[in-house]
Structure 1
Amino acid sequence: MGSPGLNNRNNGQQLGVTEPISFGGPTEFDVIKSSELEKFLADAGLYESQEEAVSREEVLGRLDQIVKKWIKAVSRAKGFNEQLVQEANAKIFTFGSYRLGVHGPGADIDTLCVGPRHATREEDFFIELHKMLVEMPEVTELHPVPDAHVPVMKFKFDGVSIDLLYAKLSLWVIPEDLDISQDMVLQNVDEQTVRSLNGCRVTDQILRLVPNIQSFRTSLRCMRFWAKRRGVYSNVAGFLGGINWALLVARICQLYPNALPSMLVSRFFRVYTQWRWPNPVMLCPIEEGSLGLPVWDPRKYPRDRLHTMPIITPAYPCMNSSYNVSSSTLRVMTEEFQRGNEICEVMEQNKADWNTLFEPYPFFEVYKNYLQIDITAENGDDLRKWKGWVESRLRQLTLKIERHTFGMLQCHPHPNDFSDKSRPFHCCYFMGLQRKQGIAANEGKQFDIRATVEEFKHSVGMYTLWKPGMEIHVSHIRRKSIPLFVFPGGVRASRPAKVIGEGRMIMKLKSDSADKSCESTAGAVDAVDDKKRKLDDDTNQRNRKCMSSITSASGKVSEMSGNRSLPIIGPSAPTTTTSCSITGSGMNVDAPEGARLEGFEANSHCDSSNSVCVTQIPSHNGGEAEGSVGCSPPIRSFSSGAGLSCSKEAEKLAIEKISGPALAHQDFSEELDELEDEFSSMDKTKHFGGGTKGSTVESSTRKAGVAGNEVGPTKSSLQSGNLEELEPAELSAPFVNTLPASTSVTQRKPLIRLSLNSLAKATSKSS
C-alpha cells in the first residue's frame, strides 16, 4: 500500500493529487497476462505498419513546410520588408492519439499550426491557407469548419487524415524551439487560441504525469478499444472521447506506478466501479495561474456544479473535459465499468480470457424500444455537413427527454451512425429507450415525447447553412423492427436464449466460460473438488451458481425468446414526422387516438432514486476543499465474495477514500437548465421542411424569429396529473421553441470540507 517518498522518473516527485494505492510490482501472472494482452491488441489490428508510420512522418514534415511558406506569403502581402518576411515562421505541433502514441491504422492526426500575431484565423488561415491547400493535388476532402467551438480545417494529405487547428500567439516571430507548455504562450491571446493550444498542452502534460509511458500507452490502447467495442467511446454522443479515456487511464497509472498493463486494466475497472461521481478525477492540483483565465471551479461557476462526471485537464487553464456526459450516459458507463470489473475478477482466477472482456455490446438486443433518427441530403458534400451538425445536436435530444420526463425515461444513444446503402445520401442514428428502474409501469401512464421531438427538430433547424434536401425524420421502432442494414452483413444475429444480469451488463452463457466465471464470482476458492462430482450434477449445479452470482448485483435474470420471424420496418420518408409518446405498457407513434403498443418495460436495472453523490471541489492552493452537490447515478460498491482477501478489502477502502465522500445530489431538472440558456441566446432560426444538420458549430446559438404559428408550453401527463391523448404532429410542421420555466438553482452552502492531504494520509494508514 501507499507510503511516502515515491521515487519515479519525475525526480522523486509524487505524481497525482494523492499517494499511490500500491507500489507493488508485477507478478509472474501479470507478466503473462500483459503479454497476452499485447498479442490480443496486435491481432486486433490496432498497431500501424512501419510503412504507414513513415508515411505519416513525411506528411507532417511536408505540412510544416507548407505553413512556413504560407506565413511568409502572408507577411509579404501585409507589407513587411524582406528581412521580416524571411524571419516569419509558423510551426506544426501534434496532439491527441498520435502524440500519445496510441493511434491505429488509418487514424487521423490532430495537428496545431502556431502562427504570429499578424496572421489572422478568419482571413489568413481559413482563406489564404485554404486557397493554397485547394491548389495542391495531394490534398483531398478539404472541409473548413471556422464556426466550430474549436475552429478546424479537415482534409486528407496523401491519404492521411488531418485535423488542423490554428493558434495565433502574441509574438511577432515564432521561434523554431517554441515551448508551448509554458503558460506565457497564453498571454494576450483570444479564446479560440486558448482552446486550440489546450490539446497540445494537455497531451504533453499527461505524458509528464504518468510514471511509465509504455505501460500507459498499452493500457490506454486497450481501454480505447474496449470502449469502442462496448459502445461508450464518443464525446459528441455524451460518452467519453480520446482525451477523457487518456486522463482516466493516466490516473490509474499514478495510483499503481509499478503495475503492468494487465493489472492497470483490472484496476481501472476496480477503481471506477467504486468512484463516487461527480467527484472529479484529476492528475494534478488545479492552479489559478497568473493570467486570470477561468478554471474549473464549482464554487465559483454554477454551471460547473452540474457536471456529472468531471475529468479535469492537467494543463492551465484546467477544464472539465467531459462536460457532455449526461445522467443517462453516465449510467451506461458505470454499468459497463461494473461488467468489466466482474470479468477482470474472473480473469484473475485464470478462468477467462481477454476475448470475454472485449465482447461487442449487443445494443440492438438490449432494449425493446428505440428512436430512429434518419437524415438525408441532396449530395455527399451536403450530407457530410448535415451529418456533422445533427451529430452535434443529438446530445440535446437525450437531455430534453430526460428533462421533460423528469428523469423517468432514460436514453441510451448509440455512438455510431448507420447507412442504408439502398438509399443515396442517407444515414441514421439510434437511441435505446427504457423506463427508469424503480418507476412503476402503471397501466395507462404515458411519457409523451412528441413535443420534445419537435423541440429537438427546432434546434436542429437553426443550422445556418441549411439547404433544400437536408431533411430529418424521427420515428419510434420496436426491437423486432430494427432495419437489417444495422447488422453486420445485413443479417440479424440469433438472439441468446438467456440474458444475464443488468440490462447493460449482458453476458452470454457459454458452456465453457460459465463454469469458470461462476467459480470466481461466487468466491468459492476453497473446499470444492470438482473432479469428485458426477458430470451431470456438476454441470447443472455450477450453472445455477453462476447465474445466481453474476446476477447478484441486479437480482434479476431476463428471459428472452429465441429466433423469430419478425417484420422489418425500414425508414419512413424523411419529409414526414413521427410523433412519440411512451406509455406504461407501450409507446404511441403516429397511432390512432387511444391506440397503444404493448410490451414497453425496463431492460436495465439501475435505480438512481436513492443515489448519493458529491462534487469534491479540490483546493486550488493546497488548502481545504469545499464540497458542492452534483447529479449522478449510484455507483455500486466493490463486489466482495466469500474468498475476498484482506489486501483486497484494504485496497477497496483506499479507493473509497481517494474517490471522495458521498453527499446528496441536487435535483435532476437543474442539470438540464443549460438548455434554457442555449435557447434564450439564439437570435436567428431557419424555417425548414423537416431538415437539420450539423457540425460543432457555434452558429447554432442564433435565435429564430419565426412568424406565425407559435406553440405554447406543452404539459406532459406527469405535469397535468391526467392523461391526454394528443394527435400526431408532423415533423415538418412549424415549431417555435418554448421551454418550460426552469427550476431556479437554490444557493447551497458547502456541505463538506476535505483536504487532499487528509485523503493521502487516510490512504496511507489503511495499508
Structure 2
Amino acid sequence: MEPLSTAGPTPADLGRTRDLEKLLSNAGLNESREEAMKREGVLGRLDQIVKSWVRQICVNKGFSNEVVQEANAKIFTFGSYRLGVHGPGSDIDTLCVGPSHATREEDFFVELHNILAETENVTELNPVPEAHVPVMKFKFDGISIDLLYARLSSWTIPEDLDISDESIMQNLDEQSVLSLNGCRVTDQILRLVPNIQHFRTTLRCMKYWAKRRGVYSNVTGFLGGINWALLVARICQLYPNAVPSTLISRFFRVYTQWRWPNPVMLCPIEERSSLGLLQVWDPRKNPRDKSHLMPIITPAYPCMNSSYNVSTSTLRIMTQEFNRGNEVCEQLEMSRATWDLLFESFSFFEAYRNYLQIDVVAIDDCDHRCWKGWVESRLRQLTLKVEKDTYGMLQCHPHPSDFVDMARDGYHCAYFMGLQRKLGAPLHEGQQFDIRTTVEQFKLNVAAYTSWKQGMEIYVSHVRRKQIPLFVYPGGVKPARPARQHSGSPSSDSKQGDSRKRLTSADPGGHCSKKIASSSSSNQVVAAEEVEVS
C-alpha cells in the first residue's frame, strides 16, 4: 500500500512535537547516561559468561582442544532495548545463540542456570522452560534480563554472525525459531521505517500512553512492546514525512477506522520453501489463524501473528481507548486540549462497581515468583471462560499488572478484573450469571502446575468498588472520586444507571457460591463470595 500522505510538517505540527518531547522528558522516560553505561557493562559480562559456558560444555563432552578453542556463543538484544525506546528500569530482552551440541534442556536450563546462580550480582533467577518461548529470567546487577536460547544447526558460532540471514533458519527446532524471531523482527522493523528517530519518539509516546490507559500487557490479552512497535511502524510507513505529533494523531485516526481482523503488515508475507516447512500466518490454510481477532503480523520470516492473545474483551477495551485518543487528538489539533489530557491515567478502580480479586500467595520469594508467573499466564483463560460461559453477556476488564500488599505476611500479590453486563444488552427479570463452574475449571487449570509446592495458593473473591483494598492505591491512600469519566472510557458508572443489586451468599455446606445477578431495572452486575483454591 502506498503512503496515505507524503506531506511534511507545518509550523503547528513542529510546535506540538516540541510540547510532546517536553512532556516525555518531564515524565522521566529517558534513561540517564550512567544507567546506559551500566546496561552495556552487564551485557558485556553476560556475553563473556555464555562464551565460557559453551567452552565448558565442550570440555565436559570430551571434545578436542581445537574444538574447545573454537567454541563460541553470542548474545543479541531485541525488543525495546534494541529499538532504542527503553526507559529507566526497563528489562533487556536478550538472545543467546549457541552451537548444535549445546542443548536447551540440559545445557542451557541446567548448566548455564547453575553458572548464573553462582555468579555474583545475579539474583531472582527464574527459569521458565515450559513457556511458549522458553526463557530464563533474572536480575544482573539490578537490571532485569529475559534470556532466550536458539540452538543453531552448525558446530561453530562466528563472532560476526548475521541473524538476519535466513540460511541460519535451516533445520532448527520450533523453539529456536521462535527465540530467533524476536531479534529478526526487531532488526526488520528498523529497516522498514522511513525515519528511525521519528519512529522512536512516536513509539515511546504510544508505549507511555498504553501504560497510562491500562492497555499495555501481552500476557493479559492486550498488546506488548512488539505489538505497539509494529502498529507505530505501519503508521510511519503511511505518513513517511510526518513528525511525531502528527504520527500520534494519525495512529488513532487509522486504527479507529481499522476493520479488524484485517491484518496489519509492514511487508508482504512470503514463504520460503527452501527452508523447510516453517508455518507462516495464513488464515486461508491454517484454521487456528482464522480465530485471531487483531492480527499484527511480524515482518521477518516466518511471519507470525504477534497478537494472538487478544480476546473479544481486550479488543473491545482497546477500541474504546483508540476512539478516546482520536477524540483528544482532534481537540489538540484545534488547540482545545493539551497533551496531558491524552496521557491522563485511566481510573480503573473507579470505572466499575464490581471486581474479581485474584490473590496469589506462597511461602518464600522464589516459590512466589514461579507461582505468580504460572497464574498470570492462565488469567487470560479466566477472562475468556467468563465471557464464553455467559454467552458474552458478562464482560471482563483485566487490569494489566499486579498489586502487592506489603502489610500482609508471606509473599503475596493480587490481580483484579472489572466486571460489567454487556452494554446495550436486553434486561431480563431475575437473570443470573452463575460462574461457579467457570471458576472451578480455572482452579483445575491452575492446579495443573507441575512445580506446585506446599504453600502455593490462590483465592478468587468478589469486591465492590467501595471495598477495593487500599494497597492498590499509591501510598495506600484512596484518591478522591472524580466527578465524571472522560468520554471514551469503559466506565460502568457513566453508561449504566444506578440500581439495586443482590448478592448470593455461601451455601450451608460451607462451599462458596459464585453468582452474579442483576435486577430488571439495571444492567450492572454483582459478583459473590470468596472462592478458595487449595
Instruction: Give the alignment's TM-score, normalised by structure 1.
Output: 0.66
Identity of matched residues, %: 68
Alignment of 1:721-740 (within 5 A): 731-732=532-533
Alignment of 1:34-113 (within 5 A): 34-113=17-96
Residues 474 and 577, structure 1, Cα contact 8 Å, conserved in 2: no
Cα shift at 1:450: 1.2
Residue in 2 that maps onto 1:225:
208
Greater radius of gyration (CA): 1
Alignment of 1:94-133 (within 5 A): 94-133=77-116
Residue in 2 that maps onto 1:694:
none
Matched, 1:308 2:242: no
Residue in 2 that maps onto 1:139:
122
CA distance in 2, matches of 1:81, 1:137: 30
CA distance in 2, matches of 1:729, 1:352: 44
Cα shift at 1:67: 1.2
2:166 to 167, 179, 183: 183
Residue in 1 that maps onto 2:282:
297
Structure 1, residues 404-429: CA drift from partner, whole Å, max 9, x if none? Answer: 11111111000111122221211111
Matched, 1:402 2:387: yes
Cα shift at 1:578: 4.3
Letter in structure 2 aligned against 1:436: K
CA distance in 1, matches of 2:446, 2:108: 28
Residue in 1 that maps onto 2:135:
152
Alignment of 1:371-382 (within 5 A): 371-382=356-367
Residue in 2 that maps onto 1:739:
none
Residue in 2 that maps onto 1:474:
460
Residue in 1 that maps onto 2:414:
428
Residue in 1 that maps onto 2:427:
441
Letter in structure 2 aligned against 1:443: E
Structure 1, residues 627-665: CA drift from partner, whole Å, max 9, x if none? Answer: xxxxxxxxxxxxxxxxxxxxxxxxxxxxxxxxxxxxxxx
Structure 1, residues 428-478: CA drift from partner, whole Å, max 9, x if none? Answer: 111111111221222201111111111111101111111111111111121
How has the CA–CA distance of structure 1 residues 599 and 379 changed in structure 2, closer, same or farther, with 3 Å as cutoff?
Answer: farther
Structure 1, residues 705-751: CA drift from partner, whole Å, max 9, x if none? Answer: xxxxxxxxxxxxxxxxxxxxxx9896448xxxxxxxxxxxxxxxxxx
Residues 91 and 174, structure 1, Cα contact 8 Å, conserved in 2: yes
Residues 351 and 491, structure 2, Cα contact 8 Å, conserved in 1: no
Cα shift at 1:182: 1.4
Letter in structure 1 aligned against 2:346: Y
SS at match of 2:114: helix
Alignment of 1:22-41 (within 5 A): 22-41=5-24
CA distance in 2, matches of 1:40, 1:427: 32
CA distance in 2, matches of 1:360, 1:506: 17
1:214 to 168, 172, 197: 197
Cα shift at 1:577: 6.4
The root-mean-square deviation of aligned C-alpha atoms, in Å, is 2.2
Residue in 1 that maps onto 2:502:
none
Residue in 1 that maps onto 2:320:
335
Structure 1, residues 275-315: CA drift from partner, whole Å, max 9, x if none? Answer: 00111100010111122210111111111111110000111
Letter in structure 1 aligned against 2:380: R
CA distance in 2, matches of 1:578, 1:211: 58
Structure 1, residues 611-632: CA drift from partner, whole Å, max 9, x if none? Answer: xxxxxxxxxxxxxxxxxxxxxx
Cα shift at 1:34: 0.8
Residue in 2 that maps onto 1:582:
516
SS at match of 1:54: helix
Residue in 2 that maps onto 1:645:
none
Residues 420 and 427, structure 1, Cα contact 8 Å, conserved in 2: yes
SS at match of 2:150: strand
How has the CA–CA distance of structure 1 residues 117 and 69 changed in structure 2, closer, same or farther, with 3 Å as cutoff?
Answer: same
Residue in 1 that maps onto 2:305:
320
Cα shift at 1:137: 1.3
2:473 to 480, 487, 497: 487
Residues 497 and 559, structure 1, Cα contact 8 Å, conserved in 2: no
Matched, 1:453 2:439: yes
How has the CA–CA distance of structure 1 residues 258 and 577 changed in structure 2, closer, same or farther, with 3 Å as cutoff?
Answer: farther
Residues 432 and 518, structure 2, Cα contact 8 Å, conserved in 1: yes
Letter in structure 1 aligned against 2:33: Q
CA distance in 1, matches of 2:407, 2:419: 27
Letter in structure 2 aligned against 1:583: A
Residue in 2 that maps onto 1:601:
524
How has the CA–CA distance of structure 1 residues 128 and 499 changed in structure 2, closer, same or farther, with 3 Å as cutoff?
Answer: closer
Residues 109 and 127, structure 2, Cα contact 8 Å, conserved in 1: yes
Residues 216 and 224, structure 2, Cα contact 8 Å, conserved in 1: yes
SS at match of 2:93: strand
Structure 1, residues 94-119: CA drift from partner, whole Å, max 9, x if none? Answer: 00000000000111111111111111
Residues 473 and 577, structure 1, Cα contact 8 Å, conserved in 2: no
Letter in structure 2 aligned against 1:403: K
1:166 to 133, 141, 149: 149
Cα shift at 1:401: 0.8
Cα shift at 1:160: 1.6
Residues 138 and 158, structure 1, Cα contact 8 Å, conserved in 2: yes
Cα shift at 1:499: 3.2
Alignment of 1:219-258 (within 5 A): 219-258=202-241
Deviates more, 1:107-116 or 1:66-75: 66-75
Letter in structure 2 aligned against 1:297: D
Matched, 1:366 2:351: yes
Q: Which runs of 5+ in 1 are unaligned?
A: 1-17, 508-555, 562-571, 587-597, 604-726, 734-767
Residues 332 and 504, structure 1, Cα contact 8 Å, conserved in 2: yes
Residues 402 and 410, structure 1, Cα contact 8 Å, conserved in 2: yes
How has the CA–CA distance of structure 1 residues 439 and 559 changed in structure 2, closer, same or farther, with 3 Å as cutoff?
Answer: closer
Higher relative contact order (CA 8 A, sep 6+): 1
Cα shift at 1:157: 1.6
CA distance in 1, matches of 2:147, 2:29: 24
Alignment of 1:411-560 (within 5 A): 411-424=396-409, 425-504=411-490
Cα shift at 1:156: 1.6
SS at match of 1:201: helix
CA distance in 1, matches of 2:352, 2:240: 40
How has the CA–CA distance of structure 1 residues 213 and 193 changed in structure 2, closer, same or farther, with 3 Å as cutoff?
Answer: same
CA distance in 2, matches of 1:32, 1:501: 26
Residue in 1 that maps onto 2:503:
none
Q: Which runs of 5+ in 2 are unaligned?
A: 500-505
Residues 252 and 325, structure 2, Cα contact 8 Å, conserved in 1: yes
CA distance in 1, matches of 2:392, 2:60: 57
SS at match of 1:498: coil
CA distance in 2, matches of 1:168, 1:489: 46
Letter in structure 2 aligned against 1:447: F
SS at match of 1:276: coil
CA distance in 2, matches of 1:37, 1:242: 20
Cα shift at 1:579: 3.4
Structure 1, residues 187-209: CA drift from partner, whole Å, max 9, x if none? Answer: 01111100100000000011011
SS at match of 2:485: strand
CA distance in 2, matches of 1:168, 1:729: 46
Letter in structure 1 aligned against 2:393: M
Alignment of 1:616-635 (within 5 A): none
Residues 307 and 323, structure 1, Cα contact 8 Å, conserved in 2: yes
Matched, 1:385 2:370: yes
Cα shift at 1:148: 1.4
Residues 450 and 729, structure 1, Cα contact 8 Å, conserved in 2: no
